[in-house]
Structure 1
Amino acid sequence: MKRFRIKERFKFFLERQFVKGAHVQLLFVALLIGLISLVGGLLVMPSDESTRSLGEEVWWAFLRLSDPGYLGDDEGSWRRFISTILTVLGYVVFLGSMVAIITTWLNIKIRSLEQGFTPVSAKNHILILGWNAKTIHTAGEIFQSVGRLRRFLRFYGAKRLNLIILAEDVTPELLQELRDNPLIGKGADEIILRTGIPIDREHLKRVDSLNAAAIIIPSSAYTGKELITPDVETIKTLLSLNAEAEDSPVKGRFPYVVAEIQDKSKIKAAYRAYNGPMEVIGSNTIISRLLAQNIRHQGLSAVYNELLNHSVNNNIFCREYPGAVGETVHDLKQAFPKAILLGVVRRVADRLTPMLNVAPDFTIEKEDRLVFITRNSSDIELNPNVSIQQKPPIQIRHKLKVEEQEGVVKILILGWNHHIPALVRELCTYEDEFYDITMVAVYPAAKREVELRKIENLTDRVTLEHIEEDYVNGSVLKNLNPTAYDNVLLMSSERVLEKEEADARTIVGYVLLEELLGSGRKKPNVVLELSDPDNEALLRKYKAEVIISPLILSNLLAGIALQREVHSICKELFTAGGAEIIFRNIEEYGLEAGIITFSELENKAAEFGEIALGIYHDNQSHKNDEKLLLNPGKFKNLEINPEVKVVVLTTVY
């Protein structure tokens, strides 16, 4: 037998009405006030000797309900009793409910504004889609790259920087993180935060993606999801952007996009997903190449950290000079005393092609962009009133060979992350070189083998051994005998979601390793990969070589967004073969210990077809920030000795 649940149905009805918003809530309160006023008017009518009408009595009741000041004006016990009840109900129903409803509505509105649900109306802005470990650093590099940013804004006709970040959940903590970043500081108030996910087209409209001058898509970290990987989300975002552009009433409005893809095999899919101008950086490939180059040339991490960090010291710049057309590279070098000319970027068959470490008689053509290493953009301003001095080029004696690894190079990898398969693949590309790699991690060896079997062209020259142990254990580390290896890599673990905890394991492992190595003569080259740049300061007294992956990738994303040619230059510099940065002993140039100006060092390197970039002190007495000196100035006196290496740009064939 069915029961009549009038009470439950009425409560459910009220609930469904009240969730519709403040306007419905106010309507219900108004009806309740009217009902109370009507009942109050009816109750006092028999006691009214003046025989007022029902309307006048209802108005009397409403006045007592809405204003307690009328309470002392009534006469008669019954009327005073009803008046008192109406006054009390007025405090509860009229005043209390109205204040509660309006306060709740204001809180919802303020929270909505704080979370960034309001669509923006912008033009020629820079848009970062997603909040992860790279977002803050990318924003900081954009703020810090003053010269590039100025030209970027001038190209798009924008007066000031409009930076918008789309985050999954905008909270006051995110804004505080931006303020705490030293590269942003007070500039955080100029950054617009909006809530949303980049794979949702409606959320892309919220940040006005179609009118953006540049869109940056940093890849998030692995979260353990096997099917929805960061690369899948990035490609889905590109498809959403493409659909928005194609459905736009303004045809051909495709913003310039810089996207990060971790898996090299998905880069082509990313390019197919978006029809507009785009640069895709393979993050695993870039980090693996930096690690591989550091294995082959110890100390290069200091060079990479300086060149790929736009906020300090020397950076890579690229600029077009119409007045330089027809001039040779040798003649142009004299026109930039505070910079080092590396070559040009030339458009060949609609592709940006870097031509670095070219011959002295290489001639600049129309639309060529010159590539420099310098401290700031003002150092590469070409004065049109100054004529370029033409001097006879230095004759190249002969080309020096780049020494390859001899014998079998033994590598110990402590920890596991998604960069390691890419590193193994990169080492396989170095012909005639042999590597014996031992991997120690708590990550299951069976899963590691599955990942490594996916590598194409895996060669017998690279042997792999897996050990399933926790290297943050003194006895385990001691049994590994790290002194028997040529290189030790400590990798930031991806199994720990918090970057601080991942770095804590890496740093503790390194401290234990240093204790084992002691002051012995034979010490392997130790390289750490960290996730948080703030943790680098903890290792300064150990003089460790550190690669901070999120920071390097953030700088690349920002640099490529502001200057597209940077991507092709970095790919050329950090790829096996072609232009490479290496170290040379002074004996290879026939130099002796003593004092030499950097200009003389440049000329000596030019005799062997190379470009001198600076010097590197290869001894333990120098601090990390004193070891490397890039672009010291043409006439700066340098003290060289057998422990000093020359940092050069050479060409590997």
Structure 2
Amino acid sequence: MMNKTNKILIQWLSWPIHVRIALIVILLILFFGELISVIEPKEFPTAFDGIWWAIVTVSTVGFGDSTPKTHAGKLVGMVTILIGASFAASYFAILSAATFQKQQAYVDGEIPFKRKNHVVIIGWNEKAHEMIQSLRAVKPFKQIVLIDHSLKEAPLMENVHFIRGNPTNDFTLLKANVKEADAAIITADQHKNELDADMQSVLVLLALKGINPSLYCVIEILTEHQANNAKRAGADEIIKTYQLTSHFIMSSYLAKNGLSTIYSKLNPATGNSFQVLPVPENLVGKTFKEASIHLLDQESILLGIKREEEAKMNPPLSYEILAGDYLIVFSH
């Protein structure tokens, strides 16, 4: 008998405190509502009337539409106020504290992400901020999970769930629910030198692929040596920042006509984006010129052809397109 009582007590104590207090308040309302209807049947002819009075009394609203008339009824009212109102006030206080704690835990990056088909961005920097803004413009309802260990609190951005922690740690990645993510983007750690940042990025890539081998991963690499390691680690897309930056700078120098202002228009958020599309059957065997004219009718510009691992940008107009090729297109 004692063991059974202890088991029931342990189960009761294992429930959240706000649930326990809510149950106590409900029981008190039912008990005193029934009791007052028995003591004063003229004022409270039904149990429902008594329960209504008990709710109004416990909540300290006090409409005054029905009140006890006898000394016994008034005594029940006093006990109801002293006991019931105390528990009710405690319930709302605990509920408010729990809500505040949960909100603070969300801001601190401690709440796990439960949804799926989201994009995970590793590292908070200006590049990550720009990517989030672009993604919100292109796909406003796409959920984004940001993982970073340097931020003290979540950035105030819509549809961004912040997870604070080391991205090479499985516990952190599982909190971000990478098992059910759509893709992951790894940015270079701006607090490290180039080599250390690349080594960190490759470790994050290995951790991601270890948890979800099919996860589409885009990684930013700052040095050529680590680009090979990123490829071996299973990166689906390697962004060589050192190449892109140097090429843009050199192109701007050679053009000498404000070319840098055009780069902002390459942002997908402006409505223009690059696409790599499989060659449709009707373009197999056609020349680059014929395919370009066909795509222009669809308001797209053909920039090049991707064949296996080689991308041929602006090939000769007579370049023949084969089955299995991919079209590199700029469209809106």
TM tier relative to shorter chain: 0.5 to 0.7
What is residue 327 of structure 2 aligned with on the other side? Answer: 370
How far off is 1:202 after superposition? 1.8
Residue 162 in 1 paired to residue 130 in 2? no
1:24-39 equivalences under 5 Å are none
Whichever residue aligns with residue 139 of structure 1, its letter is I
How far does the alpha carbon of each residue in 1:112-137 deviate from its partner, in whole angstroms, 9 at most, with x for none? 456561331314x3332333212232
Partner of 1:345: 306
Q: TM-score, normalised by structure 2?
A: 0.63
Matches of 2:247 and 2:100, distance apart in 1: 51
Change (3 A) 1:358 1:226: closer
Residues 97 and 208 of structure 1: CA distance in aligned 2, closer, same or farther (over 3 Å): closer
Aligned to 2:239: 281
Unaligned runs of 5+ in 1: 1-19, 31-65, 75-83, 150-159, 176-187, 246-252, 378-653
Q: Which amino acid aligns with 1:238?
A: L
1:415 aligned partner: none
- For residues 80 and 323 of structure 2, what CA distance do their matches in structure 1 show? 87
Q: Is residue 215 of structure 2 the alignment partner of residue 235 of structure 1?
A: no
**Normalization by structure 1: what TM-score?**
0.35
After TM superposition, give the deviation of residue 344 of structure 1 in Å.
Answer: 1.0
Letter in 2 for 1:174: L
* Matching residue within 274, 282, 286 for 1:327: 286
Q: Which amino acid aligns with 1:292?
A: M
Output the CA distance in 1 between the equivalents of 2:238 and 2:268: 20
- Whether the 8 Å CA contact 1:306–1:313 is kept in 2: the answer is no
Inter-partner Cα distance in structure 2 for 1:227 and 1:21:
50
2:201 paired with 1:219 = no
Task: Judge conservation of contact 1:293–1:300 (CA < 8 Å) in 2.
Answer: no
Contact kept, 8 Å, 1:345 with 1:355, in 2: the verdict is: yes
1:259 aligns with 2:219: yes
Taking the aligned partners of 1:195 and 1:334, their CA distance within structure 2 comes to 48
Give the conservation status (yes or no) of the 8 Å contact 2:146–2:161: yes
CA distance in 1 between counterparts of 2:80 and 2:136 reads 60
Superposition pairs of residues 372-521 of structure 1, within 5 angstroms: 372-373=329-330, 376-377=331-332
Preserved CA contact (<8 Å) 1:261 1:282:
yes
Secondary structure, aligned partner of 2:121: strand
Change (3 A) 1:309 1:88: closer
Number of the residue aligned with 2:131 = 138
Match of 2:6 in 1: none
- Report the counterpart of residue 42 of structure 2 in structure 1: none
Q: Which has the higher helix share?
A: 2
Q: Distance in 2 between matches of 1:214 and 1:341?
A: 26
SS in 2 for 1:367: coil
Judge conservation of contact 2:218–2:236 (CA < 8 Å) in 1. yes
Asked if 2 retains the 8 angstrom alpha-carbon contact of 1:264 and 1:285, the reply is no
Alignment RMSD, CA only?
A: 4.3
SS in 2 for 1:134: helix
Identity %: 19
Shift of 1:161: 5.7
What amino acid does structure 2 have at the position aligned with 1:356?
M
* CA displacement at 1:359 relative to structure 2: 2.2
Cα separation, 1, equivalents of 2:216 and 2:319: 32
Cα distance in 2 between the residues matched to 1:200 and 1:316: 33
Q: How does 1:76-155 map to 2 (within 5 A)?
A: 99-112=92-105, 115=109, 117-123=111-117, 125-145=118-138
Judging changes above 3 Å, is the alpha-carbon distance between structure 1 residues 286 and 360 closer, same or farther for their aligned structure 2 residues?
Answer: closer
What's 2:156 paired with? 174
Gap runs ≥5 in structure 2: 1-13, 25-56, 61-66, 73-77
User: What is aligned with 1:598?
Assistant: none
Distance in 1 between the 2:154 and 2:246 partners?
Answer: 36
Quick one: structure 1 residues 285 and 341, their matched pair in 2 at CA, closer, same or farther if it must change by over 3 Å? closer
Q: Is the 8 A contact 1:306 1:315 kept in 2?
A: no
Call closer, same or farther: CA 1:333–1:102 in 2, change over 3 Å: closer
What SS does the corresponding residue of 2:259 show, helix, strand or coil? helix
Partner of 1:193 in structure 2? 161
Name the SS for the 2:242 alignment partner: helix
Deviation at 1:368, TM superposition (A): 1.4
1:310 and 2:279 correspond? no
Alignment of 1:537-556 (within 5 A): none
- Report how far residue 211 of structure 1 moved: 2.6
* Aligned partner letter, 2:116: A
1:209 to 170, 178, 192: 178
Name the SS of the counterpart of 2:268 in structure 1.
Answer: coil
Residues 261/343 of structure 1: CA separation in 2 closer, same or farther (3 Å cut): closer
Q: Which amino acid aligns with 2:182?
A: A
| 1:318 shift after superposition | 3.3
Number of residue pairs matched?
A: 266
| Alpha-carbon displacement from aligned partner over 1:2-21 (angstroms, at most 9, x marks no partner) | xxxxxxxxxxxxxxxxxx99
Aligned position for 2:229: 269
Counterpart code for 1:219:
A
Verify the 8 A CA contact 2:182 2:216 in the aligned structure 1.
yes
Alpha-carbon distance in structure 2 between the residues aligned to 1:204 and 1:341: 39
Alpha carbons of 1:241 and 1:94: their partners in 2 closer, same or farther (altered >3 Å)? Answer: same
Looking at CA atoms only, which structure, 1 or 2, has the larger radius of gyration? 1
Specify whether residues 256 and 172 from structure 1 end up closer, same or farther in structure 2 by C-alpha distance, changes over 3 A only. Answer: closer
Q: Distance in 2 between matches of 1:372 and 1:94?
A: 66
Summarize the Cα distance change of 1:87–1:104 in structure 2 as closer, same or farther, 3 Å threshold. same
CA distance in structure 2 between the partners assigned to 1:343 and 1:172 by the alignment: 41
- Tell me, in whole angstroms, the C-alpha distance in 1 between the residues paired with 2:201 and 2:91: 47
| CA contact 2:252–2:259 (8 Å) conserved in 1 | yes
State the Cα distance separating 1:260 from its structure 2 match.
0.9
Partner AA of 2:276 in structure 1: C
